[in-house]
Amino acid sequence: MTGPAADRPAHPPLVPPLAERGALAMSLEELRDWGMKFGRAAHAPVTVVIRGELGAGKTTLVQAICRGYGVVEEVTSPTFALVHEYQAPRAPVYHLDLYRLDRPDQLDAIGWDEIVSSRSVVLVEWPERAGDRLPREHVTLSLQHLPDDPHRRLLYAGWNA
């Protein structure tokens, strides 16, 4: 084949690089719907980091991703445990909330290395707390409040961002 189409990959990545797309402003319902679709399309092993300030909607998005991936159990915020594990038909799902982590070396106590090297879906809120122990290959989802609309959030998605 010749022409521009020949240069394109047959299966472009699910999430394009951050720089190549803008953000999406989403209502709660739209964000849940996006998360469900992302979860349905996700394949283990994958680490997904969810960035955003307090109340940005990180846990809401994680719950939708879990639902889409097939977690039947109720998904609650692992604020005190730091990590919750769920079973799903295709692979286990780990949901981590590192907000209360003081130093990256405390990751050892929750079995971080085993979790990120397992063949699982790993969803991490407050990934900045993990410092340089985040796996190099990961999907970044980032949520931001909109100053003039309390019902919508800006979502950015990128691979290895």
Site residues (CB under 6 A) for ligand ATP?
26-28, 31, 52, 54-60, 125, 151-153
Nearer Cβ to Mg ion (13/55):
55
- What interhelical angle do 28-41 and 58-69 show, nearest 10? 40
Applying CB under 5 A, among 58, 95, 129, 153 the residue interacting with Mg ion is 58
Number of H helices, E strands in the chain: 3, 7
Spatial separation of the C-alpha atoms in residues 28 and 73, rounded to whole Å: 21
Nearer Cβ to Mg ion (52/158):
52
Q: How many residues bind Mg ion (CB under 5 A)?
A: 3
- Give min distance, CB of 89 to ligand ATP, in A: 25
Nearer Cβ to Mg ion (14/144):
144
Distances (CA, A) of 26 to 6, 23, 80, 95: 34, 9, 29, 23
Both tokens assigned to 134:
């985040």
Element (H, E) at 60: helix 58-69
Q: Which does 28 bind (CB under 5 to 8 A by kind): ligand ATP, Mg ion, none?
A: ligand ATP
Residue ranges binding Mg ion (CB under 5 A): 58-59, 77
